[in-house]
């Protein structure tokens, strides 16, 4: 699937009001990012603003530095920015009574150096882990799929191998106490187990859910139950 949505929403203040009315008894993750019009040097302020308005409602917060649809966002895959954003957001969590888990969600298209720098910053920090990965903007992959001239990121089956490769790398370098959430190309029971085998603690899916429907989750959970009762 190719999507070029960006973050179409009414903004943190409106969403905060909506969340205040929500009675929830389930786990809620909130994914935060800057406005399209914000310049790179001011993006950290947008993340902090979203965190401060929304963190009290979340079980986990995702710092999204990896959407290909917000200009310059992926340039935030650098040590200096990651250390800065982690410092600001963990400071805000330390000062608050609300303690959501905090993750950074990364792109599958970066160079090894960027991954090493980010992992090392996360290892030294108080944030809880990484989400691996967002959609791919890789030119070669897009041309194979005949969408080379279109904006947006590829998701689903087409990014499974790419996303799994980064997951394996992250697993080999990330501190064992940190949590790895894997996402990218889960569309059946086997691709879910592949993520666990590569070291994921938790698994998310998006495109698989669109094509297969909510029944896919039932199938995965059922298989999971059968596996654990057999072992």
**Interaction site with ligand FMN (CB under 6 A):** 1, 3, 5, 7, 31, 64, 67, 105, 134-135, 155-156, 159, 183-186, 205-208
Residue keyed to tokens 């040097």: 41
Residue keyed to tokens 């298989």: 223
Catalytic residue among 67, 125, 133, 155: 67
Instruction: Give me the least distance between CB of 144 and ligand FMN, in Å please.
Output: 16
Q: State which residue, 37 or 231, has the beta carbon closest to ligand FMN.
A: 37
CA distance from start to end of the chain: 36
Q: State which residue, 5 or 96, has the beta carbon closest to ligand FMN.
A: 5
Instruction: Give me the least distance between CB of 34 and ligand FMN, in Å please.
Output: 12
Instruction: Give me the least distance between CB of 156 and ligand FMN, in Å please.
Output: 5
Q: State which residue, 117 or 153, has the beta carbon closest to ligand FMN.
A: 153
Instruction: Give me the least distance between CB of 12 and ligand FMN, in Å please.
Output: 14
67 part of the active site: yes
Tokens of 7: 């973050």
Q: State which residue, 104 or 121, has the beta carbon closest to ligand FMN.
A: 104
Task: Catalogue the active-site residues.
Answer: 67
């Amino acid at each position: 699937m190719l999507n070029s949505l960006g973050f179409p929403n009414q903004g943190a203040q409106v969403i905060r009001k909506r969340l205040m009315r929500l009675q929830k008894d389930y786990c809620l993750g909130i994914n935060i990012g800057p406005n399209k019009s914000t310049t790179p040097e001011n993006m950290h302020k947008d993340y902090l603003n979203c965190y401060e308005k929304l963190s009290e409602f979340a079980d986990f917060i995702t710092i999204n530095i990896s959407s290909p649809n917000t200009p310059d966002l992926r340039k935030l895959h650098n040590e200096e920015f990651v250390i800065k954003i982690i410092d600001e957001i963990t400071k805000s969590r330390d000062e608050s009574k609300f303690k959501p888990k905090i993750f950074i969600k990364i792109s599958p298209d970066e160079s090894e150096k960027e991954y090493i720098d980010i992992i090392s910053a996360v290892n030294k920090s108080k944030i809880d882990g990484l989400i691996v990965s967002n959609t791919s903007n890789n030119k070669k992959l897009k041309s194979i799929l005949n969408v080379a001239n279109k904006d947006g990121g590829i998701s689903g089956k087409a990014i499974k191998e790419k996303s799994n490769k980064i997951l394996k790398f992250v697993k080999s370098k990330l501190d064992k106490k940190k949590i790895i959430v894997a996402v990218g190309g889960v569309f059946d029971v086997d691709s879910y187990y592949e993520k666990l085998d590569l070291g994921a603690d938790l698994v998310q899916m998006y495109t698989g859910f669109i094509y297969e429907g909510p029944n896919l989750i039932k199938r995965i959970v059922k298989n999971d139950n059968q596996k654990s009762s057999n072992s």
